[in-house]
A = this chain, B = another copy of it.
């Protein structure tokens, strides 16, 4: 007997950005069986028993502040960075066109000028009451669910990094937040918070794939818990940090004393341009840096730097140098260079997160999904940073989930 399938909405914040458009192209190409699910964790045999949503079960929509369409975005990425095949883009044109119809103008607050350029599809920016902007965003999500007859919608934040404005620390509980949404203007909240609030309001699950604060503002998180939505974050672990989370434990398991671990990252897409803003760069670096001390069981000198290099476009090159001491006082070193295309690495993980979140929703879960820690640089609530320990967590979840009999 065929299992009941659920129709799942995928609502991307920053839908036509590099990662967002790659997610869209990926879902289209998977749906038409034009590609194999290389790079998708949930396509591993371990996950088969969960019978996760198939690409054909997913309907894509989202918010976007720029006029560039999904089709244009992937073509631009192809031309600038040499990623994707031109033929593949052409084969997916119709699917991308269908998704495009589901994209709505977004909000934009507290961002550097480089992001503001070309952002011509904005809403609610100068609303005197932030709550009004949240309402508008939530209506877009709810309308999408209704129009597409979806069983559930998963909202994924893929918008560019932002800085966190001051004056939010005092919002310690749901009540104060409520008042602030009425009393303060849109501009006094980071965009990621407005979107998170909208997702909660619309009863959607929420994933934060960026280092922005989003749902992690305590008052917002409180509201999410009250509403009983599923959520996870933050900052997708795609490259350098992923490697750190397997190499770091190696040094620890061998009792080699890491003296310093230097990371230098160069990248050229809009994410990189945004990181030229020092306040935003600081947040990103903190997210990349965190974890090494936990892994190594000692504090370690670990400067991380990020440089915007336009010619690289979507390519992200990371050079790491590990200086360590071995037996009898001898100092040795290891270095690695990682050359990855950012959206190619991120997109399949986003699809993984959507599938696993839909499954958790189906299973009746709520709150923070700790089993998704291995997908994030700064996993919420979960202290362990060793990728293998995080992986064990996920495998345990799969096992428990099967025992439950939950699928879908």
Contact = CB atoms under 8 A, between A and B. Distances in A.
Contacts of A255: 37-41, 43-44, 348
Question: Which of A330, A340, A388 gathers most chain B CB within 10 Å?
Answer: A330
A86 B85 CA distance: 10
A317 B191 CA distance: 40
Contact of A250 (B88, B242, B260, B341): B242
A301 B308 CA distance: 10
A85 B325 CA distance: 13
A301 B310 contact: yes
B309 A307 contact: no
Contacts of A82: 82, 331
Given A254-B39, A391-B253, A260 B312 contact: yes
B26 A328 contact: yes
Given A83-B328, A250-B242, A344-B330, A309 B41 contact: no
Nearest to A330: B344
A303 interface: yes
A100 interface: no
A119 interface: no
Contacts of A26: 327-328
A377 to B, nearest CB: 14
A321 B317 contact: yes
Interface residues of A, number: 71
A95 to B, nearest CB: 14
Question: Which of A39, A40, A85, A303 gathers most chain B CB within 10 Å?
Answer: A39
Contacts of A38: 255-257, 325-327, 329
Nearest to A45: B297
Nearest to A338: B334
Nearest to A238: B254
Question: Which of A317, A321, A347 gathers most chain B CB within 10 Å?
Answer: A321
Given A311-B260, A317-B321, A22 B328 contact: yes
Interface string A242-261: 11001101100111110110
A341 to B, nearest CB: 5
A322 to B, nearest CB: 10
Given A250-B387, A255-B44, A84 B329 contact: yes
B266 A321 contact: yes
A264 interface: yes
Nearest to A328: B84
Nearest to A82: B82
A99 to B, nearest CB: 16
B305 A301 contact: no
Contacts of A266: 260, 262, 303, 321
A262 B307 contact: yes
Given A38-B255, A246-B250, A337 B337 contact: yes
A326 B310 contact: no
Given A321-B319, A327-B26, A335-B336, A243 B247 contact: yes
A336 B321 CA distance: 10
A29 B334 CA distance: 26
Contacts of A323: 309, 311-312
Interface string A32-55: 000101111101100000000000
A405 to B, nearest CB: 25
A310 B260 contact: yes
Given A38-B327, A246-B250, 6 more contacts: A35-B329, A242-B250, A319-B319, A326-B344, A326-B345, A334-B339
* Smallest CB-CB A-B distances: 10 pairs: A259-B311, A39-B327, A336-B336, A388-B388, A264-B264, A327-B348, A330-B344, A39-B326, A260-B311, A246-B250
26 contacts: A22-B327, A22-B328, A25-B328, A29-B328, A37-B255, A39-B254, A40-B255, A41-B253, A43-B255, A83-B328, A88-B329, A242-B250, A246-B249, A253-B387, A253-B391, A260-B312, A264-B305, A264-B319, A266-B303, A301-B309, A301-B310, A312-B323, A326-B348, A327-B348, A332-B345, A334-B340
